[in-house]
């Protein structure tokens, strides 16, 4: 499994703690240190909607200009925006068996998956 996120994000911390407590093996990818690729984002968007992948509740979203927010409505420009501002991606992103398994963290979702 792979877990994508930002180490200091409280939701990512909860997911990592849960995985560790349940002896689940995973590789962590820090959005800030390990650059995401356009191909990876495209793959995720093939598996989920743009509305689910973009985190509209965070400070990064709120600090965007109106033009940037408008560009997030289109897959092509939204990918570019997420590449330059990875904090826009809902966290954490859990990949299991090569597929996007879960966005965000809830104990119930992780229990059902794992």
Q: Which domains does the chain have, with CATH numbers?
A: 2-113 (3.40.30.10)
From residue 68, give the alpha-carbon distance in Å to each of 10, 32, 52: 26, 20, 17
Instruction: Kindly report, residue by residue over 19-43, the tens digit of the pLDDT.
Output: 999 999 999 999 888 889 999 999 9
| Residues identified as active-site | 9
Give the angle subtended at the CA of 96 by the CAs of 53 and 106, to the nearest 5°.
Answer: 60
pTM exceeds 0.85 for this model = yes
- Stretch 61-83: mean pLDDT, rounded? 93
Q: pLDDT of 78-111, one tens digit each?
A: 999 999 999 999 999 999 999 999 999 999 999 9
Q: Which residues contact 86 (CB under 8 A, 6 or more apart)?
A: 6, 31, 32, 36
Tokens matching residue 89: 């991606």
CA distances from 109 to 80, 94, 95, 102, 105 (A): 29, 11, 13, 8, 7
User: Are the C-beta atoms of residues 17 and 107 closer than 8 Å to each other?
Assistant: no
Q: What is the structure's pLDDT at 35?
A: 84
């Amino acid at each position: 499994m792979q877990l994508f996120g930002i180490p200091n994000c409280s939701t990512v911390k909860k997911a990592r703690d849960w995985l560790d407590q349940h002896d689940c093996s995973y590789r962590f990818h820090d959005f800030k240190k390990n650059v995401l690729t356009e191909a990876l984002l495209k793959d995720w968007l093939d598996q989920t909607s743009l509305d689910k992948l973009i985190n509209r509740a965070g400070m990064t979203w709120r600090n965007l200009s109106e033009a940037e927010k408008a560009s997030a409505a289109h897959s092509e420009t939204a990918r570019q925006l997420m590449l330059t501002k990875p904090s826009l991606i809902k966290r954490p992103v859990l990949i299991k068996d090569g597929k996007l398994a879960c966005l965000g963290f809830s104990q119930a979702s992780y229990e059902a998956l794992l």
